[in-house]
Amino acid sequence: MGRKVFTVTDQIEQLKQRGLVINDDIKAEEILLDIGYYRLGFYWYYFQNEKKGHQFEPNISLDDIVDLYYFDFDLKCLLARYIYRIEVHFRTQVVYIVSNYYPNDITWYTDSAKVNNHILKDLNTIYYTLGQNTNILKKHHIKYPADTHAPTWKTFEFLTFGQIYKIYSNLKESHLKESITNVYGFRDYKLLDNYFRAIINIRNICSHNAVLYDFNQPIGIRRIPNKYYRNKTHNNTNMNASIRLILFILSKISKNRAQDLERDLHDLFKGIQRNPKISKIISEKIMFDL
């Protein structure tokens, strides 16, 4: 749309002029008013001829664009559900292991002797917002007015995966990070650091409904120490590498859930094969090979 506002009628006409096949203007209007012209643009980009600017390749229809959009949406919903299982498990390990190491400090996450000082200001801001908007924390401070913060196990229930990970990565006692890493069968906490940063990147895309199918990790995913889930190619940044990592970490928590996710992924990718134009883009971008 550039810097000019178009009516939905103008949008449809422009897409037709660029070669997009639209068989039903009324349905097209409904789609554009539902999803939005700008958002759909993220999905029709790969259907356009780069040498001809915004012109679409021959025989590309609005239905093809919508199929890709909903594939991406379904993939985000699917991965988000299983990443949540990883998030809950990780939260539990951090709370349990660190709190038992500091049994006399139920708010250890606020102590600069235990957590690197540079993140505490941000944590206090986050806590203030949570305290204003979370009933459980409000009730805690009504019952215990002298407390500046609620116990770790209460507070962490309302922190995001990224926020909990940030606290974990800023623990001053490295052996605590090693203990949490050992839960997942690793010795080097730097390996878990790489893995969880990658998973949180996917989680954030899913949570904010950004485009996922062609996402590449900003930093390569380190070699997975399991042949079944290990990437078969040298591409350690694409979505296939991220999917394999999620499956691998999930298998450390529950093999049944990892098998469920793998089955659901196969069903999702199999379903998109009915549209060869979409299937081609997906195979080129994700390279799913499980």
- 65-97 tens-digit pLDDT: 999 999 999 999 999 999 999 999 999 999 999
Mean pLDDT, residues 138-152 taken together: 91
Q: Which residues contact 243 (CB under 8 A, 6 or more apart)?
A: 79, 265, 286, 288, 290
Question: What are φ and ψ of residue 174, in 5° steps?
Answer: -65, -25
Residue 198 neighbours by CB distance under 10 Å: 23
For the CA atoms of 204, 215, 197, 218, the dihedral, rounded to the nearest 10 degrees, stands at -130
Q: What is the pLDDT of residue 169?
A: 94
C-alpha–C-alpha distance, residues 89 and 77, integer Å: 19
pLDDT over 80 (residue 41): yes
Give which of 159, 177, 158 is closest to 114, Cα–Cα.
177
Residues 274-283 have pLDDT tens digits of 888 888 888 8
SS3 label, residue 60: coil
Spell out the domain ranges in the chain.
Answer: 8-60, 69-285
Angle between helices 25-34 and 62-101 (to 10 degrees): 20
- Side chain identity, residue 152: T
